[in-house]
Structure 1
Amino acid sequence: MDWSDYEAALFDLDGVVTPTAEVHMHAWAKMFNDFLAARGDQSPYTDEDYFHYVDGKPRYDGVRSFLASRGIALPDGTPDDDPSAETVCGLGNRKNGYFGQVLAEEGIAPYPGSVRLLDALRDRGVPMAIVSSSRNAPDVLAAAGVADYFRTVVHGGVAAEQGLDGKPAPDTFLYAARELGVTADGAVVLEDAVSGVRAGAAGAFALVIGVDRGVGADHLRDAGADLVVSDLDELVPAGSTEGAGA
């Protein structure tokens, strides 16, 4: 890939730079299954539910989407709700607690292929941003040792503060591009979630790259990916040398 054609790279975090999807999936499963069990609902939350209703969405939107799929209505509450609250925000905050525990106990390492690409782009002076629906993004970047690669991090908290709609709306990617001083037609979006690919396509970015970590290449192309890879190592420019990492 000839990166000289582009001015910036906008990366999703979970599943693109770091393999945090499993941490998120386990945290969501624990939270939702405990919640359903307490209600006497015998239909467990599954990985399929994660990919259909939660993956790539802002935390509270994921809660709303899953609850709607089960015909469960809860008040929205507010982001300040205690994790014990039976509200959309309360459940989202409850999940965040599980995630923090797993991250602290197990840590996280970036994908080696992703680090190779980050090194190559940094060597070429390509500005990079993280665009993640997760408010945990800064903690994950720090735990993975890759925070220094990125000039800006647009996470769920930033989106809330700025009044930006979450993926599949393009707002967070467009905001990140502006923060880097580039326009959409000069930036590349790298995403592994269908909702994120749709956001990149909706923003009319120069290139939308789908990273197939299990969603399926066809699904990513149908969502608007111009190119699908299985690992970011495939995007390292010819002639790049192995980097030492952040």
Structure 2
Amino acid sequence: MQTTADRCVLGDEIAAIIFGVDGVVIDSARVAAAAWKSVLDPLLRSYATMQEAEVRPFEVRDDYLEHMHGRPRLDGVRDFLASRGITLPYDDLRGLAGREEELFLTEVRRHGIASFASTVDLVRVVRRRGLRTAAVSVDWYASELLTRAGVAEMFDVRLDGLEAPGTMLPVHPECGLLLEAAQRLRTPPARTAVVEQSPAGVSAARYGAFALVVGVDRIGRPAALRDHGADVVINDLSRLRLLAEPAMVGRP
């Protein structure tokens, strides 16, 4: 493989690629941020009234990227509320996270969800070249997202927290899913690349000793992915290509 600061070329040693669903295959950030705003703004207004303070609404870009993007729901909402000086019991946090998930899925089921065109292009090319592909997520509804985006059949293996809840490992929760996906692909981790957008996903792939760990940074914060073990960080899958593959896969 050949890597630079913003580009990666896969060699013949890679026989399969495991893609994270959220943020790599599926473009879910806009819908998720809107759902969080619907959940959190009433709480923020209520809190401001009690404190006799000015309301500071949830910012769908800055607050989402700072606290929620690429993180488990409970961790994200806890950190966001802490940034506003609000502390809630665990059950209340879980209720907010559950409500956001409900609104997110309602929107997806009503209007659908988009995939990233560059990812779809890459998957088509690697499959033509004989590489096996998997789409993996700890979210229980990830397979539904792939189906509603019209890309489910592009992957040899689809694995989420609903289908394989018993594959989790205690240290890196996502590592069990990645290893299970590699097993179903019949490709050892030493010949498998992982493409992930969250620091937790990158860390899990590194812990699982996968041949190549590619971080996808769409928000301008590559350091976190590198710090968690990414071999290379790219901002879009148009920067990932196969050795001797035409330029359509690796558009500059």
TM bracket (short chain): 0.7 to 0.9
Looking at structure 2, the residues matched to 240 and 219 of structure 1 have their Cα atoms a distance apart, in angstroms, of 31
Q: Counterpart in 2 of 1:30?
A: 38
Structure 1 unaligned blocks of 5 or more: 77-86
Cα pair 2:19 2:136 within 8 Å, conserved? yes
3-state DSSP class of the match of 2:12? helix
CA, structure 1 residues 156+48, in 2 after alignment: closer, same or farther (shift >3 Å)? farther
CA, structure 1 residues 155+228, in 2 after alignment: closer, same or farther (shift >3 Å)? same
CA, structure 1 residues 112+163, in 2 after alignment: closer, same or farther (shift >3 Å)? closer
Give the superposition deviation at 1:158.
3.9
What is the letter of the counterpart of residue 100 of structure 1? L
Q: Counterpart in 2 of 1:79?
A: none
2:101 pairs, out of 92, 96, 105, with 96
Cα distance per residue 1:23-59 (max 9 Å; x no partner): 1122123223333434457454444443444333344
Q: Counterpart in 1 of 2:125?
A: 120
Give the superposition deviation at 1:2.
3.0
Cα distance per residue 1:144-181 (max 9 Å; x no partner): 11101222223233464544559675332222222322
Looking at structure 2, the residues matched to 209 and 159 of structure 1 have their Cα atoms a distance apart, in angstroms, of 23
Give the superposition deviation at 1:241.
9.0
Structure 1 residues 202-211 or 150-159, which shifts more?
150-159
CA, structure 1 residues 90+17, in 2 after alignment: closer, same or farther (shift >3 Å)? same
Q: Counterpart in 1 of 2:209?
A: 204
Looking at structure 2, the residues matched to 242 and 141 of structure 1 have their Cα atoms a distance apart, in angstroms, of 24
What is the TM-score with the length of structure 1 in the denominator? 0.79
Greater Rg over alpha carbons, structure: 2
Cα distance per residue 1:69-95 (max 9 Å; x no partner): 65523244xxxxxxxxxx444322211
Q: How does 1:1-246 map to 2 (within 5 A)?
A: 1-40=9-48, 42-46=55-59, 47-64=61-78, 66=80, 70=85, 72-76=87-91, 87-158=92-163, 160-164=165-169, 170-237=175-242, 238-240=244-246
Q: Counterpart in 2 of 1:83?
A: none
3-state DSSP class of the match of 1:213? coil
How many residues align? The count is 233
Looking at structure 2, the residues matched to 216 and 11 of structure 1 have their Cα atoms a distance apart, in angstroms, of 20
Looking at structure 2, the residues matched to 234 and 129 of structure 1 have their Cα atoms a distance apart, in angstroms, of 19
Task: Give the percent of matched residue pairs that are identical in Structure 1 and Structure 2.
Answer: 35
